[in-house]
Chains A and B, each alone.
Chain A
Amino acid sequence: MTARIGVVTFPGTLDDRDTQRAVRLAGAEPVSLWHRDKDLQQVDAVVLPGGFSYGDYLRAGAISRFSPVMESVIAGAKDGLPVLGICNGFQVLTESHLLPGAMLRNNHLHFICRDQKLRVENAATVWTADYEAGQEISIPLKNIDGRYVADEHTLDELEAEGRVVFRYADWNPNGSLRDIAGITNAAGNVVGLMPHPEHAVEPLIGTGRTDGLGFFTSILRKLVNT
Chain B
Amino acid sequence: MSERSERTNEHRMTLDTVKHATETPDTEQPWSELGLKQDEYERIRAILDRRPTGAELAMYSVMWSEHCSYKSSKIHLKQFDEKAPQNDAMLVGIGENAGVVDVGQGYAVTFKVESHNHPSYVEPYQGAATGVGGIVRDILAMGARPVAVMDPLRFGAADHPDTKRVLPGVVAGVGGYGNCLGLPNIGGEVVFDSCYQGNPLVNALCVGVMKHEDIHLAKASGPGNKVILYGARTGGDGIGGVSVLASETFSDTGPTKRPAVQVGDPFQEKLLIECTLEIFREDLVAGIQDLGGAGLSCATSELASAGSGGMRVELDTVPLRDATLSPEEILMSESQERMCAIVEPEKVARFLEICEKWDVIATVIGEVTDGERLEIFWHGEQIVDVPPRTVAHEGPVYERPYARPAWQDALQADDANALPRPVGRDELRASVLALVSSPNQASKAWITDQYDRFVQGNTVLAQPEDSGVVRIDPDTNLGVAVATDGNGRYAKLDPYTGAQLALAEAYRNVATTGAKPLAVSDCLNFGSPEDPAAMWQFAEACRGLADGCLVLGTPVTGGNVSLYNQTGDIAIHPTPVVAVLGVIDDVTRRTPMAFADEGHLLYLLGDTKVELGGSAWSQVAHGHLGGLPPAVDLEREKLLAEILISASRDGMVDAAHDLSDGGLIQAVTESCLRGGLGARLVVPEELDPFVFLFSESAGRAVVAVPRSEELRFTDMCGARGLPATRIGVVDGDSIEVQGQFTLPLAELREAHEGTIPALLA
Which A residues lie at the B interface, using CB under 8 A?
A: 11-12, 14-15, 17-18, 21-22, 51-52, 54-57, 108, 110-114, 140, 142, 144, 196, 198-199, 201-202, 204-207
Q: Report the contact-size class of chain B (Cβ under 8 Å from the partner).
A: 20 to 34
Name the contact of A111 in the complex, choosing from B179, B265, B268, B587 (C-beta under 8 A). B179
Name the contact of B455 in the complex, choosing from A142, A201, A202, A207 (C-beta under 8 A). A142
How near does chain B come to A20, taking the closest CB pair, in angstroms? 10
Q: Is the CB of A142 within 8 A of B452?
A: yes
Known interface pairs A113-B453, A142-B452; A52-B460 also in contact (CB < 8 Å):
no
Which chain B residues border A17 with CB–CB below 8 Å?
Answer: 456-457
How near does chain B come to A170, taking the closest CB pair, in angstroms? 14
Contact residues, B452-470 vs A (CB, 8 A): 452-460
Q: Is the CB of B454 within 8 A of A11?
A: no
How near does chain A come to B757, taking the closest CB pair, in angstroms? 10
Closest to B185 in A: A113
Which chain A residues border B268 with CB–CB below 8 Å?
Answer: 55
Closest to A15 in B: B455
How near does chain B come to A164, taking the closest CB pair, in angstroms? 25
- Against A, the Cβ 8 Å flags (1 = close, 0 = not) of B162-205 are 00000000001001100111100000000000000000000000
Known interface pairs A12-B267, A12-B270, A110-B172; A21-B454 also in contact (CB < 8 Å):
no
Name the contact of A55 in the complex, choosing from B175, B265, B587 (C-beta under 8 A). B265
Closest to A19 in B: B457
Which chain B residues border A113 with CB–CB below 8 Å?
Answer: 449-454
Known interface pairs A111-B175, A111-B450; A12-B471 also in contact (CB < 8 Å):
no
How near does chain B come to A141, taking the closest CB pair, in angstroms? 9
B359 in contact (CB, < 8 A) = yes
How near does chain A come to B445, taking the closest CB pair, in angstroms? 9
Name the contact of A51 in the complex, choosing from B182, B359, B451 (C-beta under 8 A). B182
Q: Is the CB of A110 within 8 A of B450?
A: yes
Q: Is the CB of B267 within 8 A of A54?
A: yes
Q: A15 CA to B183 CA in the complex, in Å? A: 10
Known: A18-B457, A140-B454. 8 other contacts (CB 8 A): A52-B180, A52-B267, A52-B270, A142-B455, A144-B179, A204-B460, A204-B588, A206-B457
Which chain A residues border B457 with CB–CB below 8 Å?
Answer: 15, 17-18, 21-22, 198-199, 201-202, 205-206
B31 in contact (CB, < 8 A) = no
Of listed B359, B451, B455, B460, residue having the most chain A CB within 10 A: B455
Q: How many A-B Cβ pairs are below 8 Å? A: 85
Q: Is the CB of A111 within 8 A of B460?
A: no
Q: Is the CB of A142 within 8 A of B474?
A: no
B266 in contact (CB, < 8 A) = yes
Q: Is the CB of B271 within 8 A of A11?
A: yes
Q: Is the CB of B454 within 8 A of A206?
A: yes
Closest to B477 in A: A204
Closest to B587 in A: A204
Which chain A residues border B588 with CB–CB below 8 Å?
Answer: 204
Name the contact of B456 in the complex, choosing from A18, A108, A144 (C-beta under 8 A). A18
How near does chain A come to B182, taking the closest CB pair, in angstroms? 3
How near does chain B come to A158, taking the closest CB pair, in angstroms? 28
Q: A189 CA to B265 CA in the complex, in Å? A: 36
Q: A15 CA to B453 CA in the complex, in Å? A: 12
Q: A109 CA to B14 CA in the complex, in Å? A: 49
Q: Is the CB of B267 within 8 A of A206?
A: no
How near does chain A come to B753, taking the closest CB pair, in angstroms? 13
How near does chain A come to B430, taking the closest CB pair, in angstroms? 31
Q: A52 CA to B271 CA in the complex, in Å? A: 11
How near does chain B come to A219, taking the closest CB pair, in angstroms? 19
Of listed A111, A140, A144, A199, residue having the most chain B CB within 10 A: A111
Q: Is the CB of A205 within 8 A of B460?
A: yes
Which chain B residues border A112 with CB–CB below 8 Å?
Answer: 449-450
B280 in contact (CB, < 8 A) = no
B358 in contact (CB, < 8 A) = yes
Which chain A residues border B182 with CB–CB below 8 Å?
Answer: 14-15, 51
Which chain B residues border A57 with CB–CB below 8 Å?
Answer: 267
Q: A113 CA to B175 CA in the complex, in Å? A: 10
Q: A37 CA to B162 CA in the complex, in Å? A: 50
Q: A113 CA to B182 CA in the complex, in Å? A: 13
How near does chain A come to B371, taking the closest CB pair, in angstroms? 40
Closest to B271 in A: A11
Contact residues, B409-464 vs A (CB, 8 A): 449-460
Known interface pairs A12-B270, A21-B474; A55-B180 also in contact (CB < 8 Å):
yes
Which chain B residues border A51 with CB–CB below 8 Å?
Answer: 182
